Structure formats: C-alpha cells, structure tokens
C-alpha cells in the first residue's frame, strides 16, 4: 500500500497539500447540504434498545401472508420473486422515504444522479436472477439466437481515465512513463490471477458452498500479505489494487482478504497487463441516476404494498406465524404486522438487534461483520470544466493518489454534442480510515465541501468557480467489508447451514438461503461483500422460500 511518504512525494500529493491549505477559489457561493440518508431513524432504534425502555403499544394491526423487512435490493428482489409466483398478499417495510438501499438516486440542478451504486456489469450465467430481470425490463433480448443488450443503456465510450503525472491517460492502470520493473510486476500479477482462475470456480454471485482450497487459503489472509508473499511491491501496482478494493469493498488492500482482492479480477474480466494477449474489457450498464434506474422499476409493481418511513423494532415468532412491530415516522405511532412468514432483508447487525431471541448464527454473524462508511457527493456544475492534457473526459474519472475514488459524469450517457452543465458524482470510501464513521457523521458539510473541492482542484482548477450546489449522502454502514477469516470461510453463511440442513429454493436448487423457522434472511451482508448480483440472488431465493 502507498505509505504517507510516497503519497506526499507524488505530484498529486504535493498539489493536494497545497490546495488544502490555499483554497483555489472562494466556495461561499456553493449551496447544498446532507441528503438521502436519515440516519437519525436508525440511531433512534439503537438508542431506544440501549435505554431498555418498553415500546409503545401498537396503534394499528395489519395482516399479510409474507412480510418483508428492508427495501434494499434484496428486499425488492424478494418482493419480485413473490410477484412472479402469483402471490399478491405481501408487504414491504422500508426505513427511508424511498426503497433501493445503496442503489437510490436523486437530482441536483434538475439533473438525475446516483446516491450510491452507479453501474451494473453485464451479468454472466452464474447470475440468472439478474439476467431474468434485465430481460423483463427490456434491456436484454435474444436476437438471431444471441443475447443483445440495449446500447442506449450500455456505458458510452470513453469509459474511464486516470489523472497521473499531471495528465489524463486512458484506463485506470498507471501506464504513462512507468518503469520496465513496474510493467514486469503487472505481468506477474496477471499470471497469478489466471492461475487462480484455473484452480477454482470464481463467480458472481459467489456460490454459497464450501470454497476450493485455494480460495480458503486466500480468505484467511489480507490482500497485502498475499502481495508480500508474491514479492509484488511495486507502488503503482499496489495503488491500483488498493483503488480497486476501495472502489468495490470500501477498504483497501491492508484490510480486505486476499480472496476478495483476487475475486475482483478472477470472477470478472481477469487482469491483462500491457503487451499480454487479451484485452481487459467489461460491458457496463449505467444511467444518470445509477442503479436507482433498476431499483425504481423493482419497486414500482409493489404499489401500496411498499410502506416507507417504517423503523422495524421487533420481529418475533409464535405458534401462528410472525409478528413485526414497526414505528411509523409519519404518524409517530407503532404498527404491528402479523404474517405467516417474514423475509428479514435487513443488514445483519440490525437483524440481530430486532429479531427476538436471535439464533446463535445470527449473533455470531453480527459480531463478525465489519462495515465500510461511504460518502457520495453530487456536484452541480454550470459549464464544462477546463481539461488538462491527455485522454478525453470520460464516464469514470480517477485521480492517482487521491483519498477519494474520483467521480462519474451523470450526463455522460446523454450524447450531448457540446459539453455543458452536469452533475459530477464523487465517491469516498472510509472503511480503512480510523474513526471513519465518526468523521463521516460529525464533519460539517462545509468542511466536506472544501475537502472535495481541494482534492479535485488538482485536475480541475476551475471546478470551484463553476460549482453551484453540492449534495452529500452519508452511508454510515454502506457495505460489509470482506475481511480475512481464520477458518477460510467465504461470507457469513452459518456453518451448520452448509450441509443437508441448508434450505433450497424450488426454482433454482443451486440457490441456498439462511432460514430459521418462519424467518428467511436475505441481505448482501451474508455474502460478506456488497454487489447487486449477490443481493438480487439472495432476495430472489428468500422470496421463493417464503412462498413455499
């Protein structure tokens, strides 16, 4: 991993230090604030549980066949699975004012933009649930016996670029002016990834079955320990791998497992060093509002079955089914829901708090999972930015050595002939930052604004002058980080659930679910890392199991 000395010695590190001390331009004209996550609701639940005070009596009782707690991708996928089986008697309770979890969107300056996940890789055959969804939405159709994707929704070129050594270059792997020794380490890592691909089956979603020996060994150590073992010490290679891990998992190579670091490449497009055969390419679906385009369409069929602004405080099982108590933030009253079965599509740490007398596997999972806080900032700019030399403006734009992950351009898909006003969505993962969650929640909006502008000033000196509004979304528990596990296990699947006791869905027997009596659990936390495909597969399987 790049240490502080190496970072400061880079051109960007020096420039960032200067920009941080001397503001490029007065930012007082830029308005904005925090938006998108009402973390006070979650903290209300936490504080109430810690105080041990009794809940108020329910003011109203509802009955339904299946109750879904949590409206992220997994909860929405469970609702879709029920709908596809012809079950209409269900309800979904969601904490926020809109469903979608980390895949929600917003608008700034009248332009759509994401508040979280911003793209979906074209799914392989290991993700039939996602393939079916894309077919249902008209994004994927069979033409002359071959699957084709609607090109309007595929990420337009140029896709990505890197600001490196004072100029923009195509692609995110540092290449301009690098030493032969760096290229040699790129090739060495490419060989290791290909060797791992041949030694085990790498898929997204990851199969919830005992991992191969090589995968278990990688799961037990950090990615940086693996790189040390292989003699991969080049700072440019390490920066790139650290960036990839922070981008996908919310923390860098010193925190995530070696399994996660290799899985990033082995389960997708591999890793292709310059001069080697094969080209690194991956089709992406993206929209101005990011994956909110998908979750809004998943939520639309729910109609009045979707109940937002509900804080689930208790899930209890009895002889005749499940009882769920939820606080209605609009009416400020408690509601009770009675159902035959429930899908608990909540983060694991929340599920362990609200499930009454939780089973040991749920308690253990909650103790084990580590979450990455994330910051997402949407910057409304009134005109195209002056560009540094090199590669043309792209959909994804990354600055080498920066604390953030760069930004995506919400208007990149618009095909506008002349660049103009747009929204730049900036990302920063805080999973390996000391007190990252505390910093995220306590740092004032204006301080975040100045921090972000100073970082991006290195590549865009005119950004502050052309910015008008910055909306910041704070995800305190954005995603589970795939940290090393001494037993070599992948994800949080309970060990007792790895054999014959593991429930299977009727439609797809390869999909297994975590179930406990009338409760079925579904959330990407159980996979140990957060991607759309994992949440979709788990929610779909849980919906089928709940309907059985």
What is the reported pLDDT for 235?
A: 98
With 0-12 CB in 10 A as exposed, 13-18 as middle and 19+ as buried, what is 91?
buried
- Please report the sign of the dihedral spanned by the C-alpha atoms of residue 439, residue 440, residue 444, residue 445: positive
41 vs 80: which has the higher pLDDT: 80
| Per-chain mean pLDDT for the chain | 89
- In this predicted structure, what is the pLDDT of residue 307? 98
Which residues, other chains included, contact 372 with Cβ-Cβ below 8 Å and sequence gap of 6+? 249, 250, 251, 429, 430, 431, 436, 478, 479, 480, 481
Instruction: Tell me which residue of 343, 335, 339 sits closest to 71, measured CA to CA.
Output: 343
Task: Give 3-43 pLDDT, tens digit per residue.
Answer: 333 333 344 444 444 444 444 457 889 999 999 888 777 77
Distance CA 139, CA 447 (A): 41
Residue with tokens 């506008």: 416
- Residue 48 three-state SS: helix
pLDDT band at 209; cut points 50, 70, 90? low
Q: Are strands 407-409 and 422-429 parallel, antiparallel or unpaired?
A: antiparallel
Q: Are 403 and 241 in contact (CB under 8 A)?
A: no
Query: Given the DSSP bridges, would you call strands 333-344 and 60-69 parallel, antiparallel or unpaired?
Result: parallel
pLDDT > 90 fraction of the chain, expressed in percent and rounded: 77
Average pLDDT on 143-160 reads 92
Mean pLDDT over residues 349-361, rounded? Answer: 95
Residue 118 has pLDDT above 80, yes or no: yes
In the predicted structure, residue 510 carries a pLDDT above the cut 70: no
State both tokens at 369. Answer: 């999972």
Neighbours of 443 (CB within 10 A): 14
458 Rama sector, left if φ>0, alpha if ψ -120 to 50, beta otherwise = alpha
Length of the chain: 548
Q: Omega into 205 within 30° of 0, i.e. cis?
A: yes
Among 106-115, 208-217, 267-276, 508-517, the range with the most confident prediction by mean pLDDT is 106-115
pLDDT at 197 over 80: yes
Q: pLDDT class for 278, splitting at 50, 70, 90?
A: low
The full 3-state SS of 271-335, as one line of letters, equals: CCCCCCCCCCCCCEECCCCCCHHHHHHHHHHHHHHEECCEEEEEEEEECCEEEEEEEECCCCEEE
pTM across the whole model: 0.92
Q: Residue 504: is its pLDDT beyond 80?
A: no
pLDDT at 468 over 50: yes
Q: For residues 429 and 45, which has the higher predicted lDDT (pLDDT)? A: 429
> Chain-centre distance of CA 383, in angstroms?
30
The whole-angstrom distance between residue 332's C-alpha and the CA centroid of its chain comes to: 31
- Residue 273, SS3 per DSSP: coil
- Residues 302-324 pLDDT 10s: 999 999 999 999 999 988 899 99
Domains of the chain: 1-34+105-119+155-173+274-288+371-480 (3.90.660), 40-97+308-370+490-547 (3.50.50.60), 178-271 (1.10.405)
Q: How many CB atoms lie within 10 A of CB 507?
A: 14
508 token code pair: 């797809």
- Omega before 440 cis (within 30°)? no
- The pLDDT tens digits for 422-439 are 999 999 999 999 999 999
Residues 6+ apart with CB under 8 A from 434: none
DSSP H helices, 87-167, are 128-136
Residue 274: predicted pLDDT: 87
SS3 sequence of 132-152: HHHHHCCCEEEECCEEEECHH
SS3 at position 303: helix
**Residue 296 to residue 316: CA distance in whole angstroms:** 30
Does residue 507 surpass a pLDDT of 60?
A: no
Of the pLDDT bands very low, low, confident and very high (cuts 50, 70, 90), residue 498 is: very low
Strands of 387-533 (E only): list them. 396-399, 407-409, 422-429, 467-480, 503-504, 512-516, 519-521
């Amino acid at each position: 991993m790049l240490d502080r000395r190496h970072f400061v010695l880079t051109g960007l590190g020096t420039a960032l230090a200067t920009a941080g001390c001397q503001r490029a331009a007065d930012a007082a004209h830029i308005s904005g604030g925090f938006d998108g996550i009402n973390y006070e609701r979650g903290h209300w639940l936490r504080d109430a549980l810690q105080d041990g005070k009794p809940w108020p009596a329910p003011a109203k009782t509802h009955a339904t066949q299946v109750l879904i707690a949590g409206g992220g991708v997994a909860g929405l996928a469970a609702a879709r699975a029920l709908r596809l089986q012809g079950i209409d008697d269900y309800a979904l309770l969601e904490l926020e004012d809109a469903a979608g979890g980390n895949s929600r969107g917003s608008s700034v300056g009248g332009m759509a933009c994401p508040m979280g996940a911003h793209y979906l890789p074209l799914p392989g055959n290991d993700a039939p649930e996602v393939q079916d969804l894309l077919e249902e939405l008209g994004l994927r159709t069979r033409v002359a016996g071959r699957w084709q994707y609607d090109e309007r929704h595929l990420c337009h070129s140029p896709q990505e670029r890197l600001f490196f050594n004072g100029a923009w270059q195509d692609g995110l792997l540092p290449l301009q002016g690098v030493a032969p020794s760096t290229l040699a380490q790129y090739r060495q890592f490419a060989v290791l990834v290909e060797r791992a691909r041949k030694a085990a089956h790498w898929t997204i979603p990851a199969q919830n079955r005992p991992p191969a020996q090589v995968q278990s060994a990688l799961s037990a150590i950090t990615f940086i320990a693996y790189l040390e073992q292989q003699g991969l010490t080049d700072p440019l290679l390490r920066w790139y791998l650290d960036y990839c891990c922070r981008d996908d998992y919310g923390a860098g190579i010193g925190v995530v497992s070696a399994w996660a670091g290799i899985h990033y490449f082995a389960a997708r497009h591999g890793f292709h060093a310059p001069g080697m055969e094969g080209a690194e390419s991956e089709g992406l679906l993206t929209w101005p509002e990011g994956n909110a385009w998908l979750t809004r369409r998943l939520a639309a069929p729910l109609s009045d079955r979707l109940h937002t602004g509900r804080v689930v405080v208790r899930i209890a099982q009895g002889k005749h089914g499940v009882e769920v108590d939820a606080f209605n933030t609009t009416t400020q009253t408690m509601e009770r829901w009675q159902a035959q079965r429930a899908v608990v599509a909540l983060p694991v740490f929340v599920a362990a708090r609200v499930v009454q007398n939780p089973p040991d596997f749920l308690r253990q999972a909650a103790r084990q999972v580590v979450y990455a806080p994330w910051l997402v900032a949407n910057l409304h700019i009134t005109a195209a930015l002056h560009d540094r030399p090199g590669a043309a403006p792209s959909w994804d734009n990354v600055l080498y050595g920066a604390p953030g992950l760069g930004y995506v351009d919400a208007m990149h898909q618009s095909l506008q002939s002349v660049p103009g006003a747009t929204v730049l969505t900036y990302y920063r993962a805080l999973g390996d930052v000391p007190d990252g969650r505390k910093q995220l929640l306590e740092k004032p909006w204006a301080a975040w604004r100045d921090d972000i502008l100073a970082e991006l000033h290195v590549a865009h000196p005119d950004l502050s002058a052309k910015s008008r509004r910055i909306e910041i979304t704070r995800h305190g528990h954005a995603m589970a980080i795939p940290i090393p596990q001494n037993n070599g296990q992948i994800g949080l699947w309970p060990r007792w659930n790895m054999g014959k006791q593991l429930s299977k869905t009727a439609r797809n027997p390869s999909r297994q679910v975590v179930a406990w009596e009338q409760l079925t659990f579904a959330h990407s936390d159980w996979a140990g890392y957060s991607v759309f495909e994992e949440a979709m597969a788990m929610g779909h399987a849980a919906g089928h199991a709940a309907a059985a």
